Amino acid sequence: MNSHSYPRLFASNKDPEVPIVGSLQFKRTVKDINSELNNIVTEPIHLLIDINSYLETERHLILNSLKLIPEIFKELTADNLGKSLISNKIKNIKMSIGATSTLTLNEQTLHLEIKNTSFNSSSEETDRIKTAIENLL
């Protein structure tokens, strides 16, 4: 880490319980999740994740939500209808941090905006994301 990053790092880490995720760990996890996701779906889906667009303290929110994606897509592609819809409608997944949690589908890119607060329950978040994707399809 270079010396210019220290002020940003400490200014962004207001909550001492928020884990800081390093860039190498982030890149490895994104790559592993992308590989796992593409083993589930019939057509490749690309994760459009730009590490430079997230603060060190926000990366854990992205990774926590991203780790849910393979399981969600496994459920969504359990039958031929789901496989067909996913392969025809979703080619990319993009994630961002925002004030609210929303999902949109535009030009075959599924955009997940994650609320900029702590990650609560993976089962609640899984259900929320899965239901939102089903509604978009």
Q: Where are the domains of the chain?
A: 21-136
pTM over 0.75: yes
**Pick from 1-5, 30-34, 36-40, 85-89: least confident:** 1-5
Sorted by sequence, the CB contacts under 8 Å of residue 130 that are 6+ apart come out as 72, 75, 76
Amino acid at 119: F
What is the pLDDT confidence band of residue 60, given thresholds at 50, 70 and 90?
confident
What is the percentage of the chain residues whose pLDDT exceeds 70? Answer: 83
Tell me, what's the pLDDT at 18? 65
